[in-house]
Structure 1
């Protein structure tokens, strides 16, 4: 089963039967945020919230990538991961 739209790809991630690696999860998260919201303009998380900081940095690294390109990469990534996790 391959997704062809962002919504289909999001639905496909919900069918994963095992959890992707943290690196894969960060890539999924950052591409989704870039595809749906564009560049990261949020405040950097403070303190010792390392998960929030990792997510922030992963999204920030995609600055300048168009929503369309991020969406295409997200769909492609989810499709490739689905062969491993479904």
Structure 2
């Protein structure tokens, strides 16, 4: 139970996504990135090369809030990205 409390505190920044789901999203991405980092991902003919720099991802509550604001009308506003970038599935912020 203490572990769940620590998890909730780390991911508890409001929004519509529950803290346990945020943790699950980050954990899954880091698990898949770890496989690439360790050279465990199958390519078409052989394993893909190990990643040289594959840091762990962390949930960014500020970025979550920014994404919610930009998507509030059902479309992402890409004209005001500033230091944030995005692709169709991801929004990133440089630190």
> What TM-score results when the alignment is normalised by the length of structure 1?
0.30
User: Which has the larger Rg?
Assistant: 2
Q: Which protein has the bigger strand share?
A: 2
More helix by share: 1
